[in-house]
A and B are shown apart, each in its own frame.
Chain A
Amino acid sequence: MRNSASPLGEPRGICLINLENVAFNYGGGDLLSEVSLRLAPGSFHFLTGPSGAGKSTFLKLCYGDLLATSGHVTLFDRNVRDLSRDEMALTRRRIGVVHQDCQFLDHLPLLSNVGLPLTVAGKAVQDSDIKDLLTWVGLEKLTNALPPSLSGGERQRAALARAVIMGPDVILADEPTGNLDWDMSLRLLALLVELNRMGKTILIATHDLNLIRQAKSQVATRVLRIAKRRLQLAGADL
């Protein structure tokens, strides 16, 4: 058994996502090793590191899309290995995920895509709620547009709207500004900061250091870095 590394993030108290001495590999050598992290409610984290370092893999571990090769991943006080497939689905409703490629159903209009989490959960879809949400992300005029017709920025904002429609406790964003210009990146960051002020826990994987610096000027953040398979606190330059 590996020696437990010191958990980053929140050292004590309630945590929503807890990784304890986690390792992961895709069949070869470990991509991540001895990774520990506690995400407390209301915290704002950035995850950075070079391409291929394992940022996306780390996020997938955080919402149960991948299972750790070793160590323990706990989501809302439940070990992911103990969760049935249905329980995992219910857990994912508490975690909003914004993917780099957004992942929409291309045959459905934006309105249906944003409302999809409510639909699959069997909850009543309130038209006004979706309209408010689309207005909040600046897409109120595109409710009937199909995802392929949206620009990169519009898709990212739509993905954020879909991620928050269930009122999740945690929002995980994987390179959310990867395809956006600076102005659009700032707009998306502003939305995420606003969500954090509403009490949501945010974890953003990005290699955009300027975005991180911009966020630090607005909200208290911790910056984590994946380097040499380990998760570390980033230096003071960030």
Chain B
Amino acid sequence: MIKLPAILSDHGDGVVPPSGPTAWLTTATAAAMAFLAVFALALALASGRLAERWSAALDRSATVRISAPVDQLALQTAAVLEVLSTTPGISAARALDLAEQQKLLEPWFGPDLPLADLPLPQLVEITEGSEGYDRDGLRQRLQAEAPGAVLDDHSRWREPLAAAATRLRILGYLSVFLIGATMAAMITLAARAALAANSQVIRVLRLVGAKDDYIARAFVRRFTLRAAGGACIGTVFGMAAIFVLPAQEDAGSFLTGLGFQGAGWLLPLLLPVLAALVGFLATRTASLSNLRRIT
């Protein structure tokens, strides 16, 4: 009993000759792209978390800085605390002692700074209540009660930091998009090269009555599988690399926090699916447009 090769009777890509040693190039490129995409995705997610963390950390706190002659400093500090204690929306306020101020300045001036001999301003830390407080009203009251007091609600710091983190997140997603576009361009080029190299095969197929869709399918299936396979490999290596990064610590929290958390680990698993989709669309488009030109 004569049997046709199974490869001819299934998906039709057996009619195209094997690609030889160049076939792995598409797979390897897809793997490299997926590896980079994992990092770009991790960057985008970490930036998002960072923006939220910075905003949350700074959003509920403020500082009153009192700059006054030494003999008036205690008086104005008391006045400020009195004002703060009667301001609606402020849950707590306390003056930082010398040891706390020393700790704040230690990274810049070292542990032996003689604070008592320096005319440093007094800092008062404010903790905001859930309902918030009237910043402009507080500023006016402080100006009246303690002329040397300045309210710093951290918006100067918070807004640029949050904006920078948001931009970083956008850049991360943009990188994922660009990697996908590069992969699509690469697969398109490879598919066109394959079509050109197999022009004689295509000619034979047209001669025996093959429709464009049949011919394109042979190439599309091949390149889709290569893109998906390569992306699987790249994603696994990328996730492994992210996994072995140091755990998040307070010091250098951004770099050590570059990773996935919880359900975020599932997101990179979408990359092979997206790569397959990109491979499918890129090859199909390239195949059908090329077939219209070369046959």
Q: Do the beta carbons of A130 and B2 come within 8 Å of each other?
A: yes
Residues of B within 8 A of A106 (CB): 17
Residues of A within 8 A of B292 (CB): 85
Minimum CB–CB distance for A194 against chain B, Å: 22
Q: Do the beta carbons of B17 and A109 come within 8 Å of each other?
A: no
A–B complex contacts, Cβ < 8 Å, 5 sampled: A85-B292, A104-B204, A108-B5, A116-B205, A120-B214
Binds A, one of B6-14, B63-71, B88-96, B98-106: B6-14
Interface residue A112 (Cβ < 8 Å from any Cβ of B): yes
Tally A-B pairs: CB < 8 A: 79
Q: Do the beta carbons of A116 and B211 come within 8 Å of each other?
A: no
When the two chains form the complex, which single residue of B5, B200, B205 contacts A120, counting CB atoms closer than 8 Å?
B205
List CB contacts (< 8 Å) of B191-219 with chain A: 200-201, 203-214
Q: Do the beta carbons of A162 and B208 come within 8 Å of each other?
A: yes
Majority SS of interface residues in chain B? Answer: helix
Residues of B within 8 A of A195 (CB): none
Q: Do the beta carbons of B17 and A119 come within 8 Å of each other?
A: no
Total contacting residues, chain A, CB less than 8 A: 32
Interface residue B119 (Cβ < 8 Å from any Cβ of A): no
How many angstroms between the C-alpha atoms of A98 and B241 in the bound complex?
58
Q: Do the beta carbons of A119 and B204 come within 8 Å of each other?
A: no
Interface residue A38 (Cβ < 8 Å from any Cβ of B): no
How many angstroms between the C-alpha atoms of A31 and B206 in the bound complex?
24
- Besides A92-B209, A103-B203, A120-B12, 13 other CB < 8 A contacts? A85-B211, A89-B210, A89-B211, A93-B208, A103-B200, A104-B204, A105-B201, A106-B17, A107-B17, A108-B15, A109-B5, A117-B209, A119-B8
Chain A residues within 8 Å of B, Cβ to Cβ: 65, 85-86, 89-90, 92-93, 97, 99, 103-109, 111-112, 115-117, 119-121, 125, 127-128, 130-131, 143, 162, 166
How many angstroms between the C-alpha atoms of A73 and B137 in the bound complex?
90
Closest chain B residue, CB of each to CB of A140: B2
Interface residue B110 (Cβ < 8 Å from any Cβ of A): no
In the complex where A105-B17, A105-B201, A107-B18 touch, is A116 in contact with B208 (Cβ < 8 A)? yes
Closest chain A residue, CB of each to CB of B292: A85
